[in-house]
Chain A
Amino acid sequence: MYAFLTGPMLWVALLVFFGGLTARVVWYVRGLSWQLDRVAYGPHLAHGLKGGIHSALKWMLPFGTQSWREQPYFAVAFFLFHIGAVLVPLFLAGHNIILAERFGFSLPALPMGIADALTVAAIIGLVMIALRRIALTEVRILTTAYDWFILAVSAAPFVTGFVARLHVGNYEAWLLAHIITGELMLIVAPFTKLSHIVLFFMSRGQIGMDYAIKRGGYSRGAAFPW
């Protein structure tokens, strides 16, 4: 079972994940239309991209935007989760051992203590996000079962992985649960809101280009004050 999940199944999961997300990016860009979006992407590409990159970077910086500063609770929750969600899967020592074994290459590994801290932070972030979803009427009215599903799919690999790491209960079972939920996340990502893993950059890039090319980028005299 373990061999299958970390062998052929891992291949499938990674192919779906990377292939699917690449397709989403390609479709997104191909579906942009200067007439329908009313943004002249082509003639102002370099200027536009500068605005697009600025728009994405600002939002990736904790408290980098007015919106993050006005909502510190959510900003903290968001970054606690997302920093762990990006770093831990990529740079966890355990993951890289598998990478090295199966694919013959590996990424630098995080020291165990830091990986633990990031994992705990990510789980805390997720709990904060879930509590906010329940507590605030303006978020509750938007919330659907689908949102809870996405939250669960994102939480499961962290929780199972961390339990396995702590060696409480049945290690083998938790490890399998971790691998299964991790691969599930990879497989559903391109087909769900998790596609924001790449579409965040597309969407942020687009609105940044929109403001840079059309909505004052040439007259504002400064970058757009996100």
Chain B
Amino acid sequence: MPEGTFCNRRPVNTEEDLKALLGDKGGAQYYKEMAELEVDVEALKATLQKTLQSRTKTWLEICAHCGMCADSCFLYRVNERDPKQVPAYKIQSTLGEIVRKKGEVDTAFMMRTMEVAWSQCTCCNRCGMYCPHGIDMGVMFSYLRGLLFSQGFVPWELKIGSGMHRVYGAQMDVTTEDWVETCEWMAEEQQEEWPGLEIPVDKEDADTMYVLNAREPKHYPEDLAEAAILFHLAGENWTVPSEGWEQTSLTMFAGDWAGCKMQVERVYAAVDKLRPKRVVGTECGHAHRATVIEGPYWAGRADGRTPVPFLHYVEWVSEALTTGKLKIDPEKRIKEPVTLQDSCNYVRNHGLAKHTRIIMSYIAEDFHEMAPNREHNYCCGGGGGFNGIGRYRHQRNVALKTKRDQILATGCKLVVAPCHNCWDAIRDLEEEYEIGIRWSFLKPLLISMVIVPEHLKPQEEDE
């Protein structure tokens, strides 16, 4: 059974392989090889036998083909109501077909299935809320991605993403040294403005351990500085681990379940080592999903719980505001109309909508909800890995229209987006459609309006 040099059934486990794969610009050779990649039918059959149990089997079997899921799917709506975008059709014509054929499918079928799995579903799970039988096609697509990954049919960028996690323990090539240096650099840089500010690395028994998204140290380390400033102002006894600081999981988007387990276990190992009372994660949706919601299961924790309480950043902020650890200067609240993006991963899928509303009530004078919102909100248009896949860039740009129109309908020019993927998608939709909006994480907004306690203000130098 021929396998390509780049496109094959083996995940990337070494730096050398990773660099070689990165060198194949845009995955040109990778996708050529994919067209020749044979399906390992025996392996696929065996996986189905082992992992396709009553929940998924029943979902596929009792789907009444009623089409109630159609309108729940933003991709169906935004693609001129193309019936091929009906969630039930998408899953029945891919996973359903694989199951009916007991894995006897060919390369062309798998390539088409890959396209559906990564460009026609963002695993936002909204359809599952609208199906009378409670059939969650997002969950099934996630399962399907796992099958595709195991057979080597995964978009180039996500094969790389999974490799990054396997090689560096992070979604980007940030080594432990890079990371610790970034912490020192950021702490130093803030010293003048925030005397006494620290970014304590590997402090044991702290109240709070902070974990984040590798893009922050890699591309905008000021986000880490902002997190440090806010912890500092709130008087938080906190730390970051030198290993296990990366909370995200492109392995989850890729369907690399073994990689997911490795990734989340690194974070849990940091908890074991440093014994914090709790963990706070950055403003990222999928990182929360991967570490807090799905992570315990990948790590084999039978109670489905993280080893210590894990808070999303919005939970920490809402707590800091309500307990008065952070105080907002009423003069500096956002005066202009402002709206809020609900991330699917921690709002629909983890019930944190009330926390972002609490935050908005403290920081904004003229808050406008999107419609629909909270659990019923639409995906930003770039979730589930969609943002990062060059091959599906056009489809992603079409998908952004949903959020564009939702934002336009609020009349707001400012969007608060406490999620990396949503933030990116909103940035890209502005770039693509130029509707004249701004967007922001919470951290910079909070820093611009928080009251600095006297004792934390820089000492005026004597003249």
Contact = CB atoms under 8 A, between A and B. Distances in A.
Interface of A: 27-40, 42-44, 55, 59, 66-67, 70-71, 74, 78, 136-144, 147, 193, 195-196, 199-200, 202-204, 206-208, 210, 213-221, 224-226
B349 interface: yes
B352 A219 contact: yes
A78 B354 CA distance: 34
B352 A206 contact: no
A71 B68 contact: yes
B132 A139 contact: no
Nearest to B294: A38
B83 interface: yes
B351 A217 contact: yes
30 contacts: A28-B54, A29-B54, A35-B297, A36-B55, A37-B53, A38-B294, A39-B304, A40-B304, A43-B304, A44-B303, A59-B132, A66-B376, A67-B68, A67-B130, A67-B132, A78-B132, A138-B76, A138-B81, A139-B66, A140-B83, A193-B62, A200-B132, A203-B55, A214-B293, A215-B293, A216-B352, A219-B315, A221-B354, A224-B375, A225-B374
A42 B302 CA distance: 9
A80 to B, nearest CB: 15
B369 to A, nearest CB: 14
B307 interface: no
Contacts of A142: 65-67, 86, 88-89, 92
Contact of B304 (A66, A141, A214): A214
Interface string B294-310: 10111010111100000
B53 A203 contact: no
Nearest to B50: A36
B312 to A, nearest CB: 9
A37 B55 contact: yes
B446 interface: no
Interface in B33-56: 51, 53-55
Contacts of B376: 66, 225
Contacts of B342: none
A208 B131 CA distance: 12
B57 interface: yes
Given A70-B71, A199-B62, A200-B133, A27 B54 contact: yes
B55 A31 contact: yes
Nearest to B345: A215
Contacts of B437: none
Contacts of B92: 142
Contacts of B55: 31-32, 36-37, 203, 206
B51 A204 contact: no
A176 to B, nearest CB: 30
Interface of B: prevailing SS:
helix
A40 B296 CA distance: 10
Given A33-B53, A34-B297, A221-B354, A226 B129 contact: yes
Given A44-B303, A138-B83, A218-B351, 19 more contacts: A32-B54, A32-B55, A35-B297, A36-B55, A37-B53, A38-B304, A40-B304, A43-B303, A59-B132, A66-B129, A66-B130, A66-B376, A78-B132, A139-B66, A142-B92, A143-B65, A214-B293, A224-B351, A226-B129
Interface in B330-362: 348-354
A203 B59 contact: yes
A108 B133 CA distance: 30
A39 B71 CA distance: 28
A55 B54 contact: no
A216 B298 CA distance: 18
Given A38-B297, A141-B86, A203 B58 contact: yes
B304 A213 contact: yes
A30 B130 contact: no
Contacts of A38: 294, 297-298, 304
B304 A44 contact: yes
Nearest to B376: A66
Nearest to B295: A38
A36 to B, nearest CB: 5
A42 B303 CA distance: 8
Interface string B70-102: 111000100001011010110010000000000
B136 interface: yes
A202 B298 CA distance: 25
A225 B134 CA distance: 13
Contacts of B58: 28, 199, 202-203
B61 A193 contact: yes
A143 B70 CA distance: 14
Contact of B134 (A206, A214, A216, A218): A206
Contacts of B374: 225
B64 interface: yes
A168 B374 CA distance: 55
Contacts of A143: 65
B114 interface: no
Contacts of B348: 215
Contacts of A202: 58
